[in-house]
């Protein structure tokens, strides 16, 4: 898989994307055949325990992209540029370069930033756009693009990013009909999260998909496993075994 393969998949089949933040999960989902792995700045919430993505640093991203890249053989690895790492063209070029050196094949950035996107693509760095709900700057996590003016702005932004040559655009939390209009209006594939079925592909936060959070699941997520419950039960069994001296048994011991 490379970014041109992703482009070619538009209209052929749906593109599959999951987030990952560490070596072992990256290895598992790559071997299972995922097309693209996003080392998202959602890392701030699901791995680092922050309220939002605003505290994620370049150092955080580099460390986790390196870990993911070590586990990946075939998927494309996309690294999120964290907040304030692309405030200027110079910062964007330097920081995107650092993410690529860490093992990303492409970078993602939020919003319509034509000057930055153009400079990165001219430098040979593939860019994934991100429109709709933009967690780095959003005041609330509500669906975007319900109002006509907002919807028209998102469509215009998508067309602009498309004309600049982004290899895909993430559409987060927008009405499905708006996502359909954008998907039809642009040549580049759209990757939806909370954007309905008409997008060219789907992305989910891995931890949401495997049910890591205690009872919480965003409306847009499909939960395939209740890992929170499974891990809790496994830990309780371990605690009981240690207290009852059933673990370690003879087979775990050295003579
Ligand atoms: O950071 C992230 O995981 C993302 C996805 C929600 C698209 O940007």
As averages over each run of 10 residues, the pLDDT of the chain (255 residues) reads 96 98 98 98 97 97 98 98 98 98 98 98 98 96 96 98 98 98 98 98 97 88 95 98 98 97
Give residues with Cβ within 8 angstroms of 62, minimum separation 6: 98, 99, 102
Read off the tokens for 232.
């809790």
Residue with CA closest to ligand 1 atom 2:
40
Strands 76-80 and 190-193 come out as: unpaired
Distance (Å) from CA 13 to ligand 1 centroid: 22
The residue ranges of every structural domain in the chain are 3-224, 227-255
Query: Which active-site residues does the annotation give?
Result: 172
Q: Indicate the SS3 state at residue 58.
A: helix
> In this structure, what is the dihedral angle of CA atoms 183, 188, 193, 198, given to the nearest 10 degrees?
30
| Ligand 1: lining residues by beta carbon, under 6 Å | 19, 38, 40-42, 80, 170, 172, 193, 203, 205
According to the model, what pLDDT value does residue 216 have?
78
Distance (Å) from CA 184 to ligand 1 centroid: 23
According to the model, what pLDDT value does residue 19 have?
98
Mutate which of 20, 39, 41 for ligand 1? The one with the most ligand atoms within 8 Å of its CB, which is 41
Class level of CATH domain 3-224: alpha beta
How far apart, in whole angstroms, are the C-alpha atoms of residue 154 and residue 151?
5
Residue with CA closest to ligand 1 atom 4:
40
Q: Indicate the SS3 state at residue 222.
A: coil
> N- to C-terminal Cα distance for the chain?
50
Q: DSSP labels for 154-175?
A: HHHHHHHHHHHT-SEEEEES--
How far apart, in whole angstroms, are the C-alpha atoms of residue 161 and residue 120?
12
């Amino acid at each position: 898989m490379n970014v041109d393969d992703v482009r070619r998949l538009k209209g052929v089949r749906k593109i599959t994307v999951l987030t990952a933040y560490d070596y072992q999960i990256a290895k598992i989902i790559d071997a299972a055949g995922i097309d693209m792995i996003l080392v998202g700045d959602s890392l701030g919430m699901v791995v680092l325990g922050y309220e939002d993505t605003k505290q994620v640093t370049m150092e955080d991203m580099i460390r986790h992209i390196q870990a993911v890249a070590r586990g990946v053989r075939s998927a494309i690895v996309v690294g999120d540029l964290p907040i304030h790492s692309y405030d200027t063209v110079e910062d964007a070029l330097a920081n995107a370069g650092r993410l690529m050196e860490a093992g990303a094949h492409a970078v993602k950035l939020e919003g319509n930033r034509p000057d930055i996107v153009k400079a990165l693509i001219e430098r040979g760095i593939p860019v994934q756009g991100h429109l709709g709900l933009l967690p780095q700057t959003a005041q609330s996590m509500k669906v975007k693009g319900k109002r006509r003016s907002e919807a028209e702005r998102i469509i215009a932004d998508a067309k602009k990013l498309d004309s600049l040559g982004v290899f895909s655009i993430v559409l987060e939390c927008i009405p499905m009909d708006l996502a359909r209009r954008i998907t039809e209006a642009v040549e580049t594939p759209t990757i939806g999260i909370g954007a309905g079925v008409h997008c060219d592909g789907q992305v989910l936060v891995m931890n949401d998909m495997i049910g890591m959070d205690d009872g919480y699941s965003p409306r847009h997520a499909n939960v395939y496993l209740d890992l929170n419950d499974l891990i809790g039960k496994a830990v309780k069994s371990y605690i009981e075994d240690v207290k009852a001296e059933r673990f370690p048994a003879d087979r775990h011991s050295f003579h």
